[in-house]
Amino acid sequence: MNTLPAQQRIVITGVGLAAPNADNLSDFRAKVLAGISEIREIELRYMGKAPAGVCTFPETRYRKKKDNKRGTRAGCLGVYAAHEALADAGIDFSEYRRDLTGVYIGLTEHGTVETENEVYNISQYGYNVDYWTHHHNPRTVLNNPAGEITMSLGITGPHYSVGAACAAGNAALIQGAQMLRLGEVELALCGGISESVGSFGIFASFKAQGALASHQDPTKASRPFDLDRDGIVISEGACLYCLETLDRALRRGAKIYGEIVGYAMNSDAMDFVMPHGPRQAECIRLALSRAGLKPEDIDIVNTHATGTRQGDIEECRGLAEIFADCPTTWFNNTKSIIGHAMGAAGVLELAANLPAFTDNMVHPTINVDRLDPECALPNLVLNEARAVDKVETILNNSFGMVGINSVIIVKKYNG
Amino acid sequence: MTRDAISDVIIEIIKDIDEDADTATLASDKPLRDQLDLDSMDFLDIVMELRKRYKLQIPEEDYPQLATLDSCVNYLEPKLRDI
């Protein structure tokens, strides 16, 4: 992709995020390098206690409390991350037009939290729908978080949500890159958001599948690749990126985090919940070929692995085959530290690794006390961060239910 | 409920919608929406809260009677007499 003209090359120039252990990239990087998880126990309606990733961030830095009350949690997270990303990129709309800015938000689901809350609300009034809120529809339309971002920033370009289960964050990045390439927008604010910790139903469904993690110590509950892993820790969060074309970014002297040099999406076409390793491997190979890269060119593979027994194995099988004989390719997993941030997963996990281009460190996969032999990838960075010679390329996997796969490859921009 | 109690409830509901609302200097005879940052959805919040607290159904054609604090109290006083 670096044979493309500068107007077609896509670079990341700003990052804004809220994660369970940080509310900015710098702190986030420090925490993941140190393997510090702040997963805690929460109490859910009907479900009782469960480990979850909950975000703490300045909720009224960019939006009044009244507007946070009117909108959704996803909107609140998104507005914060959007403003932070633009500030980080140094964009104040003097060089970019608001009507040529697009907002593309990846979500696994939306409306679940609001609907559960509202059904509970009217249950307190004998299920009389006269008590059903007028706020329900604007809160539950799928574009709600993206729309709340446009309202807060006065952005009048297109906005919508991209639904791709747990691959949605990557999918939204891909959408933003494509819209820039088409010239539909000149600036893309894209990423993913999760408010899923507010939904008891999501927890209950994972539990019913035997896929909800539990542990006496909530910070140890998310343990991909460990022999004793028992499922997913659900997290909320948001990570938004400013994407620009390289020529515009250079023209305004933007800081460049990296270049999106390849991406791919495909479908398992197999099962509602069980992932299919071979199709994931096809997706990885497709992304590599589009990027003009070989497996050995990849320095960090950030795995999707959520901590389910079979899911982790499926992914590792494909990775082991593709990355056989790649002595300088390192593997890690961010979900072990921040849980599974659903629509925000892919993009938060990429953000956790992007600073490796400057600090040459691979963050650890924590909570691996006994590595499952079926997940024993060579060069899997476990429990402690690893300093490496160089990091020039990061490959980021995200896979989701009903068999949706996404891969993004980001390269260090060297000028 | 007394007229003062009704007025206090309306102010309380407004503060619940918008805790930054400056209710101390409200002119009771001027439209609430001219003095506060309240839109039509906020207004429906007030109607809903009255319904939840007092099982009070306010028909849509009566909404104009809730325009000012004074008119709210005038409208609600007979309906909340037994509360």
For A183-237, the pLDDT digits (tens) are 999 999 999 999 999 999 999 999 999 999 999 999 999 999 999 999 999 999 9
Q: Mutate which of A59, A63, A68, A70 to disrupt the B interface (most B C-beta within 10 Å)? A: A70
Provide the H-helix boundaries in A57-111.
Answer: 65-70, 73-89
**Residue reference for tokens 């999106």:** A260
Give the pLDDT of residue B83. Answer: 81
Q: What are phi and psi of A409, to 5 degrees?
A: -120, 125
pTM (predicted TM-score) = 0.97
Of the listed A159, A215, A304, A363, which one is catalytic? A304
Cβ atoms of A237 and A313 within 8 Å: the answer is: no
Q: Which residues of A touch B (CB under 8 A)?
A: 64-66, 69-70, 125, 130-131, 133-135
Average pLDDT of the segment spanning B52-65: 95
Give the pLDDT of residue A2. Answer: 56
Taking CA–CA distances from B48, the nearest residue in chain A reads: A131
The token pair at A360 is 């040459």
A159 is catalytic: no
Residue of A125, A130, A135 lying closest to B41 (CB–CB): A135
**pLDDT digits 0-9 by tens, B27-46:** 999 999 999 989 999 999 99
The secondary structure element, H or E, covering residue A149 is: helix A144-153
Residue of A66, A131, A134 lying closest to B20 (CB–CB): A66
Give the pLDDT of residue A117. Answer: 98
**pLDDT digits 0-9 by tens, A368-410:** 999 999 999 999 999 999 999 999 999 999 999 999 999 999 9
Query: Cβ of B19 and A131 within 8 Å?
Result: no
Query: Cβ of B37 and A133 within 8 Å?
Result: no
Asked if the model's pLDDT at residue A163 lies above 60, the reply is yes
A110 is catalytic: no
Average pLDDT of the segment spanning A331-342: 98
Query: Cβ of B19 and A135 within 8 Å?
Result: no
A136 is catalytic: no
d(CA A66, nearest CA chain B) in Å: 5
Asked if the model's pLDDT at residue A415 lies above 90, the reply is no
Alpha-carbon span A304 to A393, nearest angstrom: 17
Asked if the model's pLDDT at residue A1 lies above 60, the reply is no
Of the listed A55, A166, A190, A239, which one is catalytic? A166
Tell me, what DSSP letter sits at residue B25? T
